[in-house]
Structure 1
């Protein structure tokens, strides 16, 4: 949506919907009732019906006094904080209806039905947006099914992920948000893991604004600190400038100097790579990942926040498997962190959330049967001595 169109939309909505007040309210109410009850193929129809029953099928959005909440909803539908996947939520159709009404392109006998359809469409878009904020659009049941059938090299893998999915937003809360003109406030209150979620959305917007990454060729010898006249170094500098590890003021030459080394270390740290005074082939692999790969990663992490509450308890332990790290939090403080050993691909660490009731210091350790069968016995067979 262009900047000009964004400016014009609120004005367009205001001028158009003032006319809704001049049309028989009873006609609009009748059409709303017919429209809602006929949407049997819409999975949100029960929620829509419950909302309109609470208002005796009176419109929520199209009257003059609804202008403020109408504008708030339109902005929310296009706000990446709530709609980071840029889902349409019927916004193109809503604009089309506004255009037809604003330009008097609808027969007077059809206006009541169109206003009713528009009001129901706006309500449906709000319900869908709220549900996306709370639950997202990932089919977690399908994810669980795929985990149950997960295999590695033809071998069955036991992968456990204890998910706590959320229900659809409550009708009472949705109705209250509409009636009190607090649509935006309500949506903000439903954001999961607010601090991290906002940081991820901010990062997503940053990556979406970046230019495509250059392809960096692999070389026989890794570019190392102190090298000069290495053609690939210039491309590496360009790549690191795009994502911000290297200042854009740095000259794009072919010398591997101390400034580049600092940028390389930043990249290595952020990607959990071994700190080296060179650009290894492993690091080059990550540098050559396309921009869309990182965008998809951020979106996936945003999707996963839907499985968590708005915040954790003040004192909690968090284990980040991809980061190989354990962190202990006490309020806003992080007094302890530690590296961690995690499961292999064919024996992944289970994902779960539970209460820690006690801790055993310096415990004895007995080799589990699983390790005896899958590791020790095969190793002894290969080398019995």
Structure 2
């Protein structure tokens, strides 16, 4: 940065227009030229110069050099500084002609770079709709305070302007810190890879690979491994001891692997992901954070799809968390933003056409008794009951299958509903055993919630809806219960989760979304 600033100072002293750019009697004609060239420009650019009364912003080489240096720091947010052309700005300033028209063109070019950088910090570089047609999460970034941005430019406090644009939430800062940490690991040479073996590494083993495993976990901050080494006067580094097994379990838990302390095929593969790939994952999730982390209310429900977790931020300040089951890779749970409006207690389940065709009909064709065991009623399109024996199940036509309420209903005892175009919702489930799995993409798109009844009762209590869920369930009646106050809900997809202690948890990209986003994020901006 010092080098760039020094170059800028030399430019200021040597440029034929540097004096004109700083002399008061030259500002007025340049301002008039700026006003002329601003016609037809973007609303943001016009708002910036309106906040300055059309005063030029880039009046000397030192200021341009400081701005270029600040643009180079945007790699800390996972953005590519070259998208904002800092080096070209310096070169253009050096070659700048003395006439007002050329100076105004440079003014607008520099300000466009600034506003583009601020927009990307605030809303993301990539348009989520361009890579996910099913995207349903409006980006609610507030308008920039152009007067404050203008003051930051005048004072060469560019980081202050960047900070105004960044999402003001702790997870974003934790991801930035994680990006810096993993880039430092890369600068130091990365981490060792474990050779492919047919046999898993297990606690108690003595093997040369154990030493590489110990080093690998120490590099990413499994401090307990290093501390135990010191406390026990450096035990045999090739022995897979209890402390190392505990570190492996922590790694497995963070990466949603089976937590057994054994380095088998999946754990070895996760350990061997190159640090460059982990850096890319952090960058992608910084971009996702820029899409989402704006205007979040204090009370809301966050569904972390790739992390299989629901977090309910309650009015008390407490956070209620639960494990969830999400859609299979070919029946993806969508990203969306809505409001929980009501609950359905003792729901029936009208089997959706896709599930009917792909899942249920094959079972019915094999054994018609499946309908009775699952308490599924056959209905006509108008809702009239039909005799299952009268149906040609090889070609059943437009029949409707509806499962009766009860403990074995696929939706369980309660459904939490919110309007959306994908017809998904949160619900209970009789298949409680799936919550014991680390990776839980088993549904047809809706979200199954562990302890759904507890969650639903908290929603009732926190919204002032005076109903007792247990009593409603015990009645056996199907009924909708409207919440006295709606609760915002966000379904979002993260493949890196920054925990409160700063550790990063990397999740499998179950919907194969990372590569498309990385390609779009790394695509250079058109001039």
Per the alignment, residue 178 of structure 2 pairs with 203
The range that moved more, 24-33 or 278-287, is 24-33
1:82/1:129 contact within 8 Å kept: no
Alignment of 1:151-162 (within 5 A): 160-162=134-136
Assess, with a 3 A threshold, how the Cα gap between structure 1 residues 260 and 311 changes in structure 2: closer, same or farther.
farther
Per the alignment, residue 140 of structure 1 pairs with 128
How far residue 169 of structure 1 moved from its aligned partner, in angstroms, is 4.8
How far residue 205 of structure 1 moved from its aligned partner, in angstroms, is 1.3
Per the alignment, residue 91 of structure 2 pairs with 96
Assess, with a 3 A threshold, how the Cα gap between structure 1 residues 231 and 183 changes in structure 2: closer, same or farther.
closer
- The answer for unaligned runs of 5 or more in structure 1 is 146-159
1:155-185 C-alpha deviation (Å, 9 max, x unpaired): xxxxx43120358956xx3245204657544
Per the alignment, residue 301 of structure 1 pairs with 285
How far residue 224 of structure 1 moved from its aligned partner, in angstroms, is 0.2
The range that moved more, 274-283 or 69-78, is 69-78
Number of paired residues? 350
Alignment of 1:244-259 (within 5 A): 244-246=221-223, 247=225, 250=229, 253-259=237-243
Per the alignment, residue 331 of structure 2 pairs with 347
1:35-93 C-alpha deviation (Å, 9 max, x unpaired): 656xx8xxx655434544664543123169xx7x8687455423348743132212102
Matched position secondary structure for 2:285? helix
Which of 192, 217, 220 aligns to 1:214? It is 192
Is 1:366 aligned to 2:366, yes or no?
no
Structure with the higher fraction of residues in helix conformation: 1
The whole-number CA distance in structure 1 between the counterparts of 2:5 and 2:237 is: 44
Normalising to structure 2: TM-score of the pair?
0.57
CA RMSD of aligned residues (A): 3.6
The whole-number CA distance in structure 2 between the counterparts of 1:72 and 1:357 is: 51
1:73/1:184 contact within 8 Å kept: no
Per the alignment, residue 152 of structure 1 pairs with none
Matched position secondary structure for 2:301? strand
The whole-number CA distance in structure 2 between the counterparts of 1:13 and 1:91 is: 15
Kindly name which structure, 1 or 2, has the bigger radius of gyration based on alpha carbons: 2
Per the alignment, residue 139 of structure 2 pairs with 165
The whole-number CA distance in structure 2 between the counterparts of 1:290 and 1:128 is: 31
Normalising to structure 1: TM-score of the pair?
0.76
- The answer for unaligned runs of 5 or more in structure 2 is 370-527
Assess, with a 3 A threshold, how the Cα gap between structure 1 residues 303 and 331 changes in structure 2: closer, same or farther.
farther
The whole-number CA distance in structure 2 between the counterparts of 1:63 and 1:210 is: 38
The whole-number CA distance in structure 2 between the counterparts of 1:82 and 1:237 is: 29
Is 1:62 aligned to 2:50, yes or no?
no
Which of 163, 170, 179 aligns to 1:188? It is 163
1:77/1:83 contact within 8 Å kept: no
The whole-number CA distance in structure 2 between the counterparts of 1:331 and 1:301 is: 27
The whole-number CA distance in structure 2 between the counterparts of 1:283 and 1:311 is: 38
Which of 303, 314, 317 aligns to 1:319? It is 303
Which of 45, 48, 52 aligns to 1:48? It is 45
Is 1:225 aligned to 2:203, yes or no?
yes
1:81/1:201 contact within 8 Å kept: no
The whole-number CA distance in structure 2 between the counterparts of 1:74 and 1:243 is: 33
Is 1:79 aligned to 2:79, yes or no?
no
Which of 174, 178, 203 aligns to 2:150? It is 178
Per the alignment, residue 24 of structure 1 pairs with 26
Is 1:375 aligned to 2:359, yes or no?
yes
How far residue 311 of structure 1 moved from its aligned partner, in angstroms, is 4.7
